[in-house]
Amino acid sequence: MNQEENLFFKMIYEVSDYAIIMLDSEGNVMNWNIGAQRIKGYTADEIVGKSFKNFYTENDKAEGKPEELLQIAKNHGTARDEGWRKKKDGSFFWGSITITAIHDDQGAITGFSKVTRDLTERKNAENELIEHSKELEKKNRELEQFAYIASHDLQEPLRTITCLHELLRAKFIDTLDENTIQVLDYINEATQRMRSLIHGLLDYSRIGKESQWVDVDVNKLIKDVQIDLKILIEDAQAEITIDNLPVISAFEIEIRQMFTNLITNAIKFRAAGQKPIIHISGNEKKGVWTFSVQDNGIGIPKAFHEKIFVIFQRLHSRETYEGTGIGLAHCHKIAQLHKGDIWVESEEGKGSTFYFSVDTQKIKAE
């Protein structure tokens, strides 16, 4: 062996992140580097001369995987695989393996090089992600089940209370004193609020369930939203301006709901006697569209910039501003559905700008 070859083999021997070994034509180990000892646990004296099958699980050996990989390398030059491999102490690691056939000058196979990388940490992280996804799926099923119960069982007693309220008012209105009538009104208002909360939960649970990605003309969509909100806009004398907006791939119903909620809030949360001025714009960067809805309303204290997106969180009493506290939670879920996010920039008394993003690159990749 000349000096150059000796330097090359020393370089391979010193590599610690990869197990780099040579196999003879039958798959027996011919040499052993530091990386192989670190990953697999054997010293060179313990493993050189023995079959590389020792690294495979009993199930893999029973199915003939070691022989199959060598045959693939013989036929195609290279074989690649990932799977659990066994260490000297009997424990397992997740290995990424590349086996390459080595030929002599006449083209005959004289052996194989085998490079192994320990990817156990990555595999464990993937398994945790899978388990998290399963748990999330389970919770979503539970939410759907709750939504079903809410749409049937919970609404039935509300209907009963409403009917009893109407019956009592119709039959005894002339005999009831003012305090009793007020109590009946409180009952009716509470029932209506409960019904609104249930409907809000149902809408929240349905977001994205039956929708499909379609091309959405955001300009046209907002014009349609303005038609839907025509009475609200005219009553408040709201002024809405819109930049030229794109056609994007999105869930149309949910994006429409997003703009409806944000425009409605911009009109609702204004100072008494104030004319709402709303501006809607959007910009794109590296496949991510960020839309904004800016208003001149009452603003939001910085301490509540994140809290407002949590379901049923309200900053104001129902007497001051109506609502269930679920609209912005809907917006948050819709933004996540579009691989994006939603946030607000605001100061109390100086208006708010709500931003939400739609990652078209991730959407196209699905």
**Beta strands 213-217; 247-251: pairing state:** antiparallel
CB neighbour list of residue 83: distance below 8 Å, 6 or more residues apart: 57, 60, 65, 94, 95, 97
pLDDT band at 4 (very low <50, low <70, confident <90, very high): low
Residue scoring higher pLDDT (56 or 10): 56
Specify the pTM.
Answer: 0.54
Q: Where does residue 322 rank: exposed (0-12), middle (13-18), buried (19+ CB within 10 A)?
A: exposed
Mean pLDDT of 197-225: 79
The alpha helices in 28-82, defined as continuous H runs, are: 34-40, 44-47, 58-62, 65-76
pLDDT band at 122 (very low <50, low <70, confident <90, very high): very high
In whole angstroms, give the CA distance from residue 257 to residue 221: 10
Per-residue confidence (pLDDT) for residue 317, from 0 to 100: 44
In whole angstroms, give the CA distance from residue 99 to residue 72: 9
Tell whether the model's pLDDT for residue 319 goes beyond 70.
Answer: no
Per-residue confidence (pLDDT) for residue 284, from 0 to 100: 92
